[in-house]
């Protein structure tokens, strides 16, 4: 599975495979979503406003164009660099194992770069619209301008893999020496629940994982079955120069920890987007029924309550790392991403943060997603956000001890609860009740 796509038809180096259109896909351009026509409000739009007002400037460099400057303006760290060599982008002709595509990410933006590429591919996480896709020409200009992309990107980004909603999809595939994915050999969709042995096909991976085998750094010949692959020679690689020339890239790394964080983050954003859209659609349809039937405007049917619950529960479970793949050996990156990542975000009075890593048994020390602090979470419709916060409280306070959350020890629950109480503004009053049992 030589390549770990991130479903971003062309944006950000996220993957574009041959993804089927969604059956019964959501009509994103009808009320109340209006995806293509609603004005976006996100990090890219804010940067464009500052560029237009002369309050920011993108500097051009030979070889990488606007890349470094754009990353600085979007607060995307260079240490997040990940390199993918499968041909899964708008600029697929520029991607192969010798000239992989570079992807960078921050909390709310992703940037894709190809050597000698015509453009930079950018995705912003929009609080109201989910993933919004842009391109930025790599031709030097006095007035750089982001071009929003809709139809081309949504062919993949709003496919059946993402239930018809705009988002990203991380995939691992087998790729050959040209970077072509060998679809007959299969592929995997990747998030934090995926075992390492299925991850990173088609990606370069720098870092160590002990005896844990993965599919990174693997170029496949023929059409092997997954069980026939022995990739032990390509794990625990700390120098990628043996595979390709790293000098044209800002850093020589494709950090294993950055890959793991990105996998978690993209699916977390996807679930927030689905919860947001599904709730807005449910409430919009309820309002129309209420008007037609002469019911009070605030009437809430059992059906709508169930729809909101169905939208929110997947967020709760993923946010608390249900079914996370367990690690059996320590993970260590090479780029400095691990150290840089933990410096961002709030800490409680005991110095703890949801960004603190474990990397021995699991990804994070305190398994609750840091995306809870994001604009996307804050912008959720009140009905589903209230549901999610209530469910988080029930689990963390020890009221819900169901098997789905059995991976959370009493100490885990108590620590997460204490961290959120001190670092997450505007929690409901009931969060101030006694700590978890």
Q: Look at residue 330 and give its three-state secondary structure.
A: coil
Structure tokens at 349: 């009075």
* Distance from chain centroid for Cα 201: 17
Type and span of the H or E element at 67: helix 67-73
The 10s digit of each residue's pLDDT in 86-142 is: 987 778 889 999 999 999 999 999 999 999 999 999 999 999 999 999 999 999 999
CA proximity to 218, closest of 239, 232, 238: 232
Query: pLDDT band at residue 12, thresholds of 50, 70 and 90?
Result: very low
| CA distance linking residue 369 with residue 375, whole number of Å | 14
* Distance from chain centroid for Cα 255: 16
| Strand-pair partners of 412 | none
Q: Is 222 exposed, middle or buried (0-12, 13-18, 19+ CB in 10 A)?
A: exposed
The 10s digit of each residue's pLDDT in 339-368 is: 999 999 899 999 999 999 999 999 999 999
Structure tokens at 259: 């890959």
Distances (CA, A) of 75 to 11, 38, 107: 17, 25, 9
Question: Is residue 407 a contact partner of residue 364, using CB atoms and an 8 Å limit?
Answer: no
| CA distance linking residue 244 with residue 137, whole number of Å | 26
The 10s digit of each residue's pLDDT in 150-196 is: 655 544 444 445 556 768 888 899 999 999 988 878 888 899 999 99
Please give the average per-residue pLDDT across 420-424, as a whole number: 98
pLDDT at 56: 97
Question: Is residue 203 a contact partner of residue 33, using CB atoms and an 8 Å limit?
Answer: no
pLDDT at 16: 35
């Amino acid at each position: 599975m030589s390549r770990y796509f991130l479903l971003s038809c062309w944006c950000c180096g996220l993957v574009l495979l041959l993804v089927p259109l969604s059956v019964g896909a959501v009509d994103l351009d009808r009320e109340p979503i209006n995806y293509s026509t609603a004005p976006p409000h996100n990090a890219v739009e804010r940067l464009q406003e500052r560029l237009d007002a002369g309050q920011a400037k993108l500097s051009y460099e030979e070889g990488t164009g606007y890349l470094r400057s754009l990353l600085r303006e979007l607060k995307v760290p260079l240490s997040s660099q990940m390199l993918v060599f499968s041909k899964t982008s708008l600029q697929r002709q520029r991607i192969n194992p010798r000239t992989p595509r570079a992807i960078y990410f921050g909390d709310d933006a992703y940037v894709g770069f190809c050597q000698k590429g015509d453009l930079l591919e950018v995705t912003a996480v929009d609080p109201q619209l989910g993933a919004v896709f842009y391109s930025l020409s790599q031709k030097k200009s006095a007035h750089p301008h982001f071009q929003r992309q809709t139809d081309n990107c949504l062919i993949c980004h709003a496919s059946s893999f993402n239930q018809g909603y705009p988002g990203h999809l991380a995939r691992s595939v087998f790729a050959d020496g040209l970077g072509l994915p060998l679809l007959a050999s299969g592929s995997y969709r990747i998030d934090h629940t995926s075992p390492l042995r299925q991850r990173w096909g088609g990606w370069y991976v720098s870092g160590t994982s002990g005896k844990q085998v993965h599919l990174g750094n693997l170029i496949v010949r023929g059409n092997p079955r997954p069980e026939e692959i022995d990739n032990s020679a390509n794990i625990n690689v700390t120098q990628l120069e043996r595979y390709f020339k790293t000098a044209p890239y800002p850093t020589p790394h494709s950090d294993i920890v950055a890959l793991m964080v990105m996998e978690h983050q993209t699916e977390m954003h996807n679930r927030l987007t689905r919860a947001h859209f599904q709730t807005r659609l449910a409430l919009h349809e309820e309002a129309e029924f209420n008007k037609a039937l002469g019911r009070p405007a605030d009437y809430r049917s059992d059906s709508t309550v169930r729809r909101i619950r169905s939208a929110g529960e997947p967020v709760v479970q993923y946010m608390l790392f249900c079914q996370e793949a367990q690690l059996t050996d320590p993970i260590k990156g090479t780029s400095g991403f691990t150290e840089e990542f933990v410096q961002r975000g709030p800490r409680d009075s005991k110095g703890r943060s949801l960004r603190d890593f474990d990397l021995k048994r699991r990804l994070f020390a305190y398994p609750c997603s840091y995306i809870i602090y994001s604009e996307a979470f804050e912008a959720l419709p009140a009905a589903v956000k209230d549901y999610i916060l209530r469910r988080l409280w029930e689990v963390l306070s020890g009221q819900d001890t169901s098997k789905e959350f059995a991976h959370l020890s009493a100490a885990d629950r108590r620590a997460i609860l204490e961290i959120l109480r001190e670092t997450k503004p505007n929690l409901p009053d009931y969060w101030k009740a006694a700590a978890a049992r």
